[in-house]
Each structure stands twice: as C-alpha cells, then as structure tokens.
Amino acid sequence: MSYLLWIIQIMFVPLVAPLGVGLINSLKARIQKRRGASLLQPYRNLWKLFYKDEVISRDASFIFRFAPFIAMGVTIIVGACLPIFTSTLSTPMSDLLAVVYTLALGTFFMALAGMDSGSAFGGSGSSREMTISAIVEASFISSILTVAFLSGTTNIAVMSAGLSPGSGNFLIPIVLAFAAFCIVLLAETSRYPFDNPDTHLELTMIHESMLLEFSGKRLALMEWAAANRLLIFSILAVNLFFPIGIAHDQAVLSVLLGISSTLLKVAIVYIVLAVLESTIAKYRFFRLPDLLLVAFVLNVVAIGLVL
C-alpha cells in the first residue's frame, strides 16, 4: 500500500496543477462577464508547447538550457514530500528548511536563466524576483515555524498530524500565521498584488519577464513548474494550518477522504485567488516590501502567542 501511495503522491502535483490554473482563468473570465477558455486549456497549451521548436540565444549558457528541468524537478521533489492526503508519508526532504530552500533553489535558477540570455527584460525581472524572494523567505519560514512549535516537529509531513489534538487552544496564532502565509503564497507564486500573471508589460511583469526568452519544450516546463508551485503553496496553506480530513493512516477510505478533502480545500483557495485577482490592482513595486512586512509582523505575534 505504501508504494501505491508514493506513486499517487509523486504524480498528484504535476497532474492536478494545470487544472488549477484552468479553474482560476475560467473563474476570472466569468467574473469579468466573458466566456473564457475550458478548464483543460492549460493541458492543451502544454501539449502544444512540447511539440514546438525552440529558439535559444547564442549568448545563453548551460544554465539557460538546464534551468527549466531544475525548476520542474524541484516542484516534483517538494510535491512528493508534502502532506497532500496523508501524514504517514515522511522523508528526510520533508523537513521545514529542506522544503523552503529547495523551493528557493528553483527560484534561484529561474533568476539566473532570466539573466543568462542577456535580455534586458530578463535581467530586470530577475532583479525584481530576487528582491521579493530575499524579503519573503523570513515570513515563509516563520509562518510554518508557528505550526512547528505547536506540533513539536519540523517535519512538514507530520505537522498536520501533530497539530490536530488540542489545537483549538491556539486558534488565534494559527489564524495569524495562516494570514501571513497567504501573503507569502501570493508573493512566491507571482499573483496579485505582487505580479500580474497575464501581463507582458515591461513596467509591471516580474515572473513573466524571466520567461520571455524561453520557447517550445523549455517554456512548457517553466509554465508547468509555475502551476506546480501554486498548487504546492496552496496545499501547504490548507493542510498545515487547517488539516481537516487529512488521513492519519493508510486505510483506503481514509486516503480517499484525504484526497477529496485536499481537492475541495485547494479549490476554495483557487476560487479566492480568482476573486482577488478580479477585484484588486497590482501594487507598485516599491510598496510590496510594506505588505511583506505585515506578514512578518503577523508571524512574530503568532510565535509570541505560542511561546
């Protein structure tokens, strides 16, 4: 049974992630009174890109060529270590710092690839991305650290199991840490108000500007990795802070309930994202550190209440 669960766990994130992007795009279209594309359109886009030819700059080095594979590999590795539907699958990579810095490794190589081609757009996007990433890492770690103190472990795969008993006494710090993590989610996945995932304007794009020089299979991998990253942070948000329905054993019924619970909670997160992106504007770049400071303060208060 454990081997089957590992296979499901490894395949879950890359298979489900494009569907989540399709859900967000479809909901945004409906909110804006448009018909919009199908929920399966991201899968069709990936299929199309995998069959397109690639154009690579003569100035690009091996970093540009291998960065998409690293970005995709990082999301698959981290996705396999998360408490997606059960808290019984744990590995050494499930440690808090291992997850945080493995995700940071993907961001680092994306920024290097953006600069490697010599494009002005890629360089500006990489600079902005690393600026935000350097500020957000502290909030990312401290928000999960609140749950670690409550559960008594830094293993993300078992935090949800350790948080369940008696966690009602710590509802306020959990809510504060969750609010801070939501800000981190928006920053790490390049969503509003930090970035506009649909724009290609020089003055506003951050993540997209690092992808402008990619094409064909490598662009498909980068787009797929971005969708995986969004799903990973959504799973962390719902299954660490509110582990309702997650399985604490490997019984078939418990696992099915865990999968259904995770899909439902993640769908709610995506619905909220779609509404948020349809009702607010992107912030100016120099206002973003203020929002990340709010997340850090919330985490400090949450950790103070726990200790």
Q: Is the pLDDT assigned to residue 166 strictly greater than 60?
A: no
Q: Is the pLDDT assigned to residue 52 strictly greater than 50?
A: yes
pLDDT, position 168: 54
pLDDT, position 85: 87
Distance of alpha carbon 142 from alpha carbon 87, whole angstroms: 21
Question: Which pair of structure tokens corresponds to residue 293?
Answer: 């400071």
Long-range contacts of residues 235-238, Cβ cutoff 8 Å, at least 24 apart: 235/13, 235/82, 235/83, 235/84, 235/262, 235/266, 236/82, 236/144, 236/156, 236/181, 237/178, 237/181, 237/182, 237/185, 237/269, 238/262, 238/265, 238/266, 238/268, 238/269
Q: Is the pLDDT assigned to residue 188 strictly greater than 50?
A: yes
Distance of alpha carbon 115 from alpha carbon 301, whole angstroms: 38
Distance of alpha carbon 220 from alpha carbon 48, whole angstroms: 9
Q: Is the pLDDT assigned to residue 286 strictly greater than 50?
A: yes
How much is the average pLDDT of 37-58? 91
How much is the average pLDDT of 45-59? 89
As for how many domains the chain has, the answer is 1
Residue 155 bridge partners (DSSP): 95
Nearest to 157 by CA among 146, 139, 144: 144
Instruction: Report angle CA 84, 47, 211 to the nearest 5 degrees.
Output: 80
Query: Which of 93-107, 120-134, 290-304 is the least confident region?
Result: 120-134
Q: Is the pLDDT assigned to residue 131 strictly greater than 80?
A: yes
pLDDT band at residue 165 under the 50/70/90 scheme: very low
Q: What are phi and psi of 191, to 5 degrees?
A: -110, 170
The answer for residues whose C-beta is within 8 angstroms of residue 224's C-beta and 6 or more apart is 14, 17, 18, 46, 72
How much is the average pLDDT of 39-67? 90
pLDDT over 90, % of the chain: 40
Distance of alpha carbon 240 from alpha carbon 271, whole angstroms: 19
Question: Which pair of structure tokens corresponds to residue 54?
Answer: 């690639």
Of residues 200 and 97, the one with the higher pLDDT is 97
Computed from CA positions of residues 227, 230, 233, 237, in that sequence, does the dihedral angle turn out positive or negative?
A: negative
Structural domain for 59, as ranges: 2-306
Q: Is the pLDDT assigned to residue 82 strictly greater than 80?
A: yes
